[in-house]
C-alpha cells in the first residue's frame, strides 16, 4: 500500500516541476510593481546592490533613456541554473525600460569562487543547451514564433579564443526580445534581454 502512495507522490512532484515555469516579468510598468512581483515570487529571494554599466551596444536606447542602477534579484534555481533578474528603470518616472534575466552560476561571485565555478561548468554544455531550449519554448508560448533563431550553437572565433553562442530574436515595432547563450572558458550564461522601443 505504501509503494503506490510513494510512487503517486513522486509522479505528482515530477509533473509539478516539469510544468512549472519561472515567473518572468514582461510588461512595461512602474518599478514598484516589479519589486512587489519579485517579493511575491519568492519572499526569500536576495536583492543585490551592484554597480552595473549599460552600454549603447547592449541597450541602443541608453542615451534616450538614461537608466538608474538596476534592481537585481538573485533567485534560487528552479531547474539547473539560478536566475539573476535585473530591472533597469528611468529614475524620473520610475518606468521600467530594460529587463535582463541571467541563468548563470556565480554571476556576482568573487574571483576565487568564479574560477572554481568556471572549471565545473566547462563540462556542462548539454545542461546549458537543454536549459536554453526550455526557456526558448517558454518564450515562444508567451511571444509566439521568433523572428530569427539559431537551430544550434555556433562557434565564434575571437582574438583570445573561440566560444559557442546561440541566439533567438523576437523583434516588433514596440519591443526587442533576445535569448542568448554564451558558452566559453570563463562565461557560461543564458540571458534574456527585453526592452521597449518607446
Q: What percent of the chain has pLDDT over 70?
A: 89
- The reported pLDDT for the residue numbered 113 is 75
Q: What is the pTM of this model?
A: 0.84
Backbone phi and psi for residue 181, each to the nearest 5 degrees, phi listed first: -125, 130
pLDDT interval class at 3 (50, 70, 90): low
Give the tens place of pLDDT for each residue, 8-59: 444 333 333 333 457 999 999 999 999 999 999 988 889 999 999 999 999 9
- The reported pLDDT for the residue numbered 66 is 97
Give the tens place of pLDDT for each residue, 139-170: 999 999 999 999 999 999 988 889 999 999 99
- The reported pLDDT for the residue numbered 115 is 78
Nearest to 79 by CA among 150, 32, 14, 142: 14
Determine contact, residues 74/84, Cβ cutoff 8 Å: yes
Determine contact, residues 126/68, Cβ cutoff 8 Å: no
Domain boundaries, the chain: 24-196
**What is the CB neighbour count within 10 angstroms for residue 132?**
20
In a 3-state reduction of DSSP, which class is residue 73?
strand
Amino acid at each position: 500500500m505504501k509503494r503506490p502512495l510513494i510512487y503517486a507522490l513522486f509522479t505528482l512532484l515530477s509533473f509539478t516541476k516539469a510544468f512549472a515555469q519561472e515567473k518572468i516579468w514582461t510588461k512595461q510598468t512602474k518599478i514598484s510593481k516589479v519589486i512587489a512581483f519579485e517579493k511575491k515570487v519568492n519572499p526569500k529571494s536576495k536583492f543585490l546592490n551592484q554597480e552595473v554599466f549599460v552600454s549603447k551596444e547592449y541597450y541602443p536606447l541608453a542615451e534616450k533613456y538614461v537608466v538608474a542602477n538596476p534592481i537585481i534579484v538573485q533567485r534560487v534555481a528552479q531547474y539547473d541554473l539560478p536566475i539573476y533578474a535585473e530591472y533597469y528603470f528611468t529614475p524620473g518616472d520610475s518606468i521600467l525600460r530594460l529587463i535582463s534575466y541571467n541563468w548563470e552560476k556565480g554571476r556576482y561571485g568573487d574571483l576565487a569562487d568564479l574560477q572554481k565555478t568556471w572549471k565545473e561548468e566547462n563540462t556542462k554544455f548539454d545542461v546549458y543547451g537543454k536549459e536554453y531550449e526550455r526557456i526558448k519554448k517558454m518564450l515562444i508560448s508567451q511571444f509566439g514564433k521568433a523572428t530569427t533563431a539559431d537551430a544550434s550553437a555556433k562557434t565564434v572565433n575571437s582574438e583570445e579564443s573561440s566560444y559557442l553562442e546561440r541566439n533567438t530574436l523576437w523583434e516588433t515595432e514596440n519591443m526587442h526580445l533576445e535569448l542568448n547563450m554564451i558558452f566559453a572558458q570563463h562565461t557560461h550564461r543564458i540571458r534574456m534581454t527585453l526592452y521597449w522601443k518607446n
